[in-house]
Amino acid sequence: MAETANFHVENLFKLKDYVCLVTGGGTGIGLMATQALSANGAKVYITGRRTETLEKAASEHDPKSQDLPGRIIPIGPTDVRSKDDLQNLVKEIEAKEGYLSLVVAAAGVPGPKEPSPDTNSAKELKEQLWDSESVDEWNETYSSDVTSVYFTTLATLPLLQAAPEDHTSSVIVISSMSGIMRDSQSHFAYNAAKAATAHLSKMMSKEFARFNVRVNSIAPGYFPSEMTMKGSDERNKAHMPDEKVKDKGHSVPAGRSGRDEEMGMAVIFLARCAYVNGQILAIDGGVLNEVGGS
């Protein structure tokens, strides 16, 4: 039976001695997750394809500079589409730590954007969509947003199983509300890939439960990131003005983009709550209430 002190936020969500890996951890939602975890005591390894971006994220957002207990450590570079890169990454972490408490799979690409289907002619629509993208672009989107998540999780599974029992080891897959809604948003490839990512997380949660490894997914709505804003500032951060959110063709009940801290709350909750497995947590400002989802 829990004493009242057990419900103190520092006891509920403590991350002391947690060792985490965040793919795509240098910018966007990956960086938000990294900040949240490290601010609360975790040692967070961040990886991606751009060494300079990883090093800048670690230096600009170093928790030690703000008297916070965790660490941010660049590792790699790693192309999560490469099994060899993933194997090398795991070997390096294993030599340094021996276990992982949490993996956040945040690396991904936006995929091709099609023109908005604005015709009642099937022939015209076919021509618009057929000419605007390629099979290679679809395959690249799927490889980056789905296949890489599967192999990242497989590669790290033994390290996750090796985590201390009280760490409730888990994987958090960053999918998207776009993978839940029926609207293509002129992103057929991306939305289809993110739907696959969300379902993949459910399958992995079932199959990997035998190893005491949980798998959950966060489906973000409109959050400022390098992907959504086509770039980052000198601290690897992006800003999404309210006007941008209000110009989406549908209502965003929150009236704004998601805040970095709100993403951090979701990450820490899923990292710590051992009674949550196989779930997709939409953090969307109420968008799915408006547009409908699966």
**Sheet order of strands, 19-23 included:** 71-74, 43-47, 19-23, 102-105, 170-174, 214-220, 280-283
CA nearest to 209, candidates 159, 171, 250, 248: 171
194 is catalytic: yes
175 is catalytic: yes
Q: Which of 148, 170, 175, 205 is catalytic?
A: 175
Q: Do the Cβ atoms of 217 and 196 come closer than 8 Å?
A: no
Q: Which of 18, 142, 190, 222 is catalytic?
A: 190
- The b/e string for 126-141 (b: 16+ C-beta within 10 A; e otherwise) is eebeeeebeeeebebb
169 is catalytic: no
Contacts of 102 (CB under 8 A, 6+ apart): 18, 19, 20, 21, 37, 42, 160, 167, 169, 170, 171, 172, 271
Q: Which of 18, 194, 201, 217 is catalytic?
A: 194
Supply the residues annotated as catalytic: 175, 190, 194
